[in-house]
Structure 1
Amino acid sequence: MERKLEEIASEALQMSIESRAALAKRLLDSLDDLNPDEYEQLWVEEAARRYQQLKAGTATSTPSEQVFARLDARSRG
């Protein structure tokens, strides 16, 4: 990842989850001009990057049960 992109990502990760979700939506919306093959290739590359981070121990994962439980708790207010 280029240095500037790493800095932006680092700053974004300090944002609240709501702000990160809004930013993610804006970024994803900006990809609407891609054809389906380009879009799929970007997701394949992202999945590979995340997998490498998990293998290297530079990232952690959260079981889906925990993620959905948190979302459920938030939706209940």
Structure 2
Amino acid sequence: MSTDELLVEALRLPRRERARVVEQLLSSLEEPDDQVATAWAIELERRSRDVADGRVQTTDWDTARAEILKELDERRARRTTS
């Protein structure tokens, strides 16, 4: 099957299936970046040690979400009064 024939067939697919094909094709073009993967592994290890050693305090999602929403509300309020 030629590229043109493949494209004609792909364009006949429903939108959701076309999106799936696009995702797969794009991901096949991405080359893993070993430097980025290594940097993230080092960072995750550092963060994990910080938590284990008590250097940082974790927060549960509900508390973090409430704090974020409160901060956003305060920023919006400051913007509307300025």
Q: Do they fold alike, i.e. is TM over 0.5?
A: no
TM-score band, normalised by the shorter chain? Answer: 0.3 to 0.5
| Structure showing the higher helix proportion among its residues | 2
More contact order relative to length (CA 8 Å, sep ≥ 6) = 1
Give the TM-score, by structure 1 length: 0.44
Work out which of the two has the higher radius of gyration on C-alpha atoms and give 1 or 2.
Answer: 2
